[in-house]
Amino acid sequence: MNAYDALVDQLAAKGVDVEAVKAKLKAQHIELPSWGFANTGTRFKTYAWPGAARTLYEKLADAGMVHKLTGICPTVAIHIPWDRVANWEEACAVAAQHGVRIGAVNTNTFQADRYKWGSITNADPAIRRVAFEHHLECIEIAKKVGSKVLSLWYGDGTNYPGQESFVARRHRMIEFLSDVHAALPDDMRMLVEYKFYEPAFYHTDLADWGQAYAICVKLGPKAQVLVDLGHHPHGTNIEHIVATLLDEGKLGGFHFNNRKYGDDDLIVGSINPLELFLIFHELVSAGEAAREVAYMIDQCHYLEPKIEAMVQSVINIQIAYAKALIVNRAELAARQAEHDLLGANRVLMDAFETDVRPLLARVREEMGLHPDPIAALHQSGYERQIAEARGASTGGGGFPEGE
Residues at the contact surface with Mn ion, assessed by CB under 5 A: 228, 255, 298
Return the residues of window 278-337 that contact ligand PSV according to CB under 6 A: 298, 300
User: The dihedral of CA 367, 368, 369, 372: what is its sign?
Assistant: positive
Give CA angle at 68 (65, 70), nearest 5°: 105
Residue 352 touches which of ligand PSV, Mn ion, none (Cβ within 5-8 Å per kind): none
State the minimum distance, in angstroms, from the CB of residue 190 to Mn ion. Answer: 15
Give CA angle at 306 (139, 297), nearest 5°: 40
State the minimum distance, in angstroms, from the CB of residue 153 to Mn ion. Answer: 6
Rounded distance, CA 254 to CA 274, Å?
17
Among 106, 224, 312, 313, binds ligand PSV (CB under 6 A): 106
Among 58, 193, 275, 282, binds ligand PSV (CB under 6 A): 193
User: The dihedral of CA 17, 296, 216, 220: what is its sign?
Assistant: negative
Closest CB to Mn ion among residues 127, 212? 212
User: The dihedral of CA 238, 307, 284, 194: what is its sign?
Assistant: positive
Give CA angle at 323 (317, 329), nearest 5°: 135
Closest CB to ligand PSV among residues 224, 354? 224
Among 255, 259, 323, 335, binds ligand PSV (CB under 6 A): 255
Q: Which of 141, 226, 197, 207 is nearest to 169 (CA)?
A: 207
Q: Does 83 bind ligand PSV (CB under 6 A)?
A: no
Burial 10-20 (b: 16+ CB within 10 A, else e): ebeeeebebee
Among 208, 263, 264, 292, binds ligand PSV (CB under 6 A): 263
Rounded distance, CA 305 to CA 168, Å?
45
Helix (H, G, I), strand (E, B) or coil at 77: strand
State the minimum distance, in angstroms, from the CB of residue 308 to ligand PSV. Answer: 19
Residue 35 touches which of ligand PSV, Mn ion, none (Cβ within 5-8 Å per kind): ligand PSV
State the minimum distance, in angstroms, from the CB of residue 45 to ligand PSV. Answer: 17
Closest CB to ligand PSV among residues 164, 193? 193
With a CB cutoff of 8 Å and minimum separation 6, the contacts of 129 are none
Single-letter amino acid, residue 293: V
Residue 350 touches which of ligand PSV, Mn ion, none (Cβ within 5-8 Å per kind): none
Residue 248 touches which of Mn ion, ligand PSV, none (Cβ within 5-8 Å per kind): none
Rounded distance, CA 349 to CA 206, Å?
34
Site string for ligand PSV, 25-64 (x = CB under 6 A): ----------x-----------------------------
Judged by the rule CB under 6 A, the positions of this chain that interact with ligand PSV are 35, 106, 153, 193, 195, 228, 255, 263, 298, 300
